[in-house]
Structure 1
Amino acid sequence: MAIDLDKVLDKAWADKPLSDVLAAPVAALKGVTEKDGELLREAFGVKTVADFGQLKYVRWAQALVALHHTVKV
């Protein structure tokens, strides 16, 4: 899967190694503010991009979207 890192990461993170990006605060994602990151930490314990990607609620929502695209409801 190809992904344009310039579209999903803040400029400061677009040229960093993937391991650094995954360990970065969620505010490294384009459109996510530091305040958003604080709220995610308070609500779900999310501290890093990796934590956010592994959050069970995110995975559940992605599965529901995928199911919607494969099954006519």
Structure 2
Amino acid sequence: MLGLEKKLMKQWEGKSAQELADAPVTALEGLTKEDAEYLDKAFGIKTVRDLAKQKHFKWAQAIVTLAD
């Protein structure tokens, strides 16, 4: 596995990185169906890949990396 066991919902454990990237955001531990609906409505995010590529999140990560 990719070392992600505690970061994924049970049904997604053991899946390949490609499968996980195209999985709904609810595959990630702690993200609910309601969270997924909000992310879709607010940012058009449907998949883990969409979440990872979202520009505002990337910008926020860069700022925090520089700050730390």
The answer to whether TM tops 0.5 is: yes
Moved over 4 A (4+): none
- Who is 1:43 aligned against? 42
Task: Return the offset for 1:4.
Answer: 2.7
Q: Percent of counterpart pairs with the same letter?
A: 45
Q: Number of residue pairs matched? A: 67
**TM-score when normalising by structure 1:** 0.86
Whole-angstrom CA distance in 1 between matches of 2:18 and 2:6: 18
- Structure 1 gap ranges (5+): none
SS at 1:31 equivalent: coil
- Who is 2:21 aligned against? 22
Task: Return the offset for 1:48.
Answer: 0.2
Root-mean-square deviation (Å): 1.0
- Who is 1:62 aligned against? 61
User: Highest Rg: 1 or 2?
Assistant: 1
Task: Return the offset for 1:47.
Answer: 0.7
Whole-angstrom CA distance in 1 between matches of 2:3 and 2:14: 11
**TM-score when normalising by structure 2:** 0.92
